[in-house]
Structure 1
Amino acid sequence: MAGEPGPITLETSGTGFELIVTTDGSSALSNVGGFVVAISSVTDEAATNIVCQEEITISLGDADLASLTYESGDVLYISSTRQINLQSIPSKCKATGDSINFNFNLTDCDAQYENVGDQVNVAMTVWNFKSMDRSTHVQRYVSHSIAVTCQFNASYDVISDVIMPQIPENEQSIDPVSGEFQISLNLYNNEFFNESLAANAEIIVPDYIFAKVNLDDIPPGVNDYIVQAENCWATQVDNSSAEPSYSIIEDGCTAPLSGGEPSDAKESLRNYEPNFATFKLQSFVWTNFTSNQQSIYIHCDVTICQNSTGQCPGQMCMKRRRRALGQNEFRRLSVGPLRLVSEPTEEQTTVEGKQMLKNMDESDKKSTWFTSWKFC
């Protein structure tokens, strides 16, 4: 280097080096003792580094920090829009201090996604949240930001013969539940049960009264709910426990006949079947009661069960059994009254007279007596 008039550049990759200089006394600067050595160093600025993968890394270099006017105490954050409060920004999406490094999952920080051909662009914006003097009432500063965009392939093909599907199987135990049903007891004009007995309709003794227990509001085609009329009876007053009473169905079967009744005086037509139960009885008058005391109220104890559960108790009439207390809890339904609208004759209040009238044809019957009931 002897005699070199200009600066000499030395490069090193280490953190320090030793420089030894000597002179041969030929320097033109003899007035200062032979030579002058001036040493200066230049350090490379930190560069911005971005790694785009599932875990994104953004390390901001000096130039980008300068463009953000970043100073000690400022907080850099990633968001699609400028924020005035950083509480909602995830901690992975904020950085401060001497070295600014973001490391976050692709979905952690707010970003804009755009499909461009076979690429997906993920655009992120780094903002500077300036450190401010909170004691003043107003602040003025320019909000700086830089944009960072990562590109990913829109699709990936993975080929492997060792990937086994994992199919979870969960077995759950569900506690028994109960539901409510709307059940009705109604009277009808005929055995087809297609015409309800209208108010003020009259029934000539001993014409039939047709009754139907119906499970209401069941969707068409649903036949899983079994209706059983366990016991049905008639009373003279609006009290299901009152006497006298007239038994129609007992333990799911047609009740036994009494007092010389005809064999078809009453009949359980359909019972322990889906959605409804039906029965019929011949109209009658109560013995030893005056005309203004003549009323008929009909009552039924009804149970409902869901056949698909396998817990229906079976038809009572087939087993001829009494319901055990606490099992197959019933609901009691009532309908009435039927009120007498004409006087009973002697024939109608004696066993012999009833049988005689039963054997008459319809024209003779109507010309012989005029007793009838009106449905109220």
Structure 2
Amino acid sequence: MLRSGWSRRQFLKQGLGAAIASRLLGGCGGVPPSQQLFIYGWETYVNTQEIFDRFLDETGIEVRGDSYDSLEVMEARLKATGNQLGYSIIYPSDISVERMRLRGDLVRLDKTLLTDFANLDPKYLDPPYDPGSQYSIPLAPGTTGIAYNAKQVRELTGSEPTDWGFLWQHRDKLKITLLNDMREVLGMGLKSLGLDYNSANPAEIQRAYEHLRALKPAIVKYETYAWTELLAAGDIALSMAYSLDGIAVTQQDPNIRFVLADSGPTLWIDTIAMPKGAPNPEAAYAWMAYSLRPEVAAAYVNATNAGTTNRLALDLVEPGIRNTPAWTIDETVLRKGHWTALLPDAVLQVYNEYWTRLSSA
């Protein structure tokens, strides 16, 4: 599951030895280990220097962040290094929390050190991926939807998208990008056929693959981030998009819109967690407590367009974001939407085989 950093292939090519040596030898320029906090997350969460600087001013702890572009890369890097890179905070999404929790790769959180946990919306506090939120803090809920240039799409098709079937209806007229994300893309293919988004049936997965192959004339590339530039330049008319990116582009161009499929969007949530072997748990708890404060949660939203689980942060979110319909995950969206479920390895192998064919064709 993708959401910028290294690709899996780049990560394996670079090798781990150099990365570990650089971290262990370089450190943070003489800063004592107790005053260092290394975090590992989506680019969204590690490129917020103003938030890091406020934390440094308050605690004296310097935050350094590394980014990844897929949950699989994050998990593989932690596993391969035994967390020798020294991360005390990670930002796994829901399905990754479940995998890591079941493997024993996460630290059970001491809620007595996180008094502002009460600020969080209760509907996010007993998720199936982490019952009782024992190993993770639900941070930023989001969806996957359709970003498009309304003027260009209307000129090409005479209408605007309301669901994924629109892509097939107008595949000879549109140029599009889909996310570089196996489960999102194949799940969308399954859903557009009226099948279970998380199907474990090989025959149904094959049907989704063949259905998606029919879109090939329209697909410019599979792209998680750079589609925003292609859409702005008019090189594509429409893209599959994560909500935080889709909402961001609507604020830059009045012709661009972001909508959720009528059949229900993919639901996801980014969390904060502590990996096993975290070298600085005290700093990690200080960071988690800081992140739970309403003004900090709102600062993340205003900087990134991400969602928030923090009820007390809502009034601090900029109206331009808060009033965007697709930003709000209400009960209707939750009811119609679908989470990405953990599937057996044998089933994932089927997904991988068809994804390789699809994305390399």
TM-score (norm 1): 0.18
| Larger strand share, 1 or 2 | 1
Higher relative contact order (CA 8 A, sep 6+): 2
TM-score (norm 2): 0.19
Whichever of the two has the greater Rg, that structure is 1
